[in-house]
């Protein structure tokens, strides 16, 4: 993952604290909607778009009024999960494509939230 993504995740993790970070990370790794996204991507051998990550996050009413930073943070964590679980197995995207997706997440995330 790009340096910008790693720095953003680290920054936001420090801002919200370790307990809240672990809670969000647990949801990213276990929520059915995110598991479905990973499964569908693996079956279709495609990389989800930035809007796909946000769409799956926003399916939860809890995040309907989340701020831009939180939504971007979660999308980056989802991309990281996708890279570790799906991309590492099927080699769908290279590092350049992933870095470009990070930039799209930053741009789209800036247009969402409150």
Residue entry with tokens 């809007």 = 51
| Distance from chain centroid for Cα 44 | 19
92-99 contacts, C-beta under 8 A, 24 or more apart: 92/41, 92/45, 92/46, 92/47, 93/47, 97/47, 98/1, 98/2, 99/1, 99/2
114 band by pLDDT with thresholds 50, 70 and 90: low
Q: What value does the mean pLDDT take over residues 92-101?
A: 97
Q: How many CB atoms lie within 10 A of CB 27?
A: 17
Quote the pTM value.
0.95
| Distance from chain centroid for Cα 50 | 8
108 band by pLDDT with thresholds 50, 70 and 90: very high
Is it the case that residue 52 has pLDDT exceeding 70?
Answer: yes
Supply the mean pLDDT for the chain: 95
């Amino acid at each position: 993952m790009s340096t910008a993504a790693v720095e953003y995740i680290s920054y936001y993790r420090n801002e919200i604290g370790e307990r809240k970070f672990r809670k969000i990370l647990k949801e990213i790794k276990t929520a059915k909607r995110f598991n479905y996204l990973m499964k569908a991507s693996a079956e279709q051998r495609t990389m989800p778009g930035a809007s796909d990550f946000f769409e799956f996050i926003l399916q939860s009413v809890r995040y309907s009024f989340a701020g831009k930073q939180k939504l971007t943070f979660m999308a980056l964590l989802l991309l990281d999960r996708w890279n570790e679980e799906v991309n590492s197995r099927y080699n769908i995207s290279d590092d350049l494509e992933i870095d470009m997706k990070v930039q799209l997440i930053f741009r789209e995330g800036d247009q969402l939230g409150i």
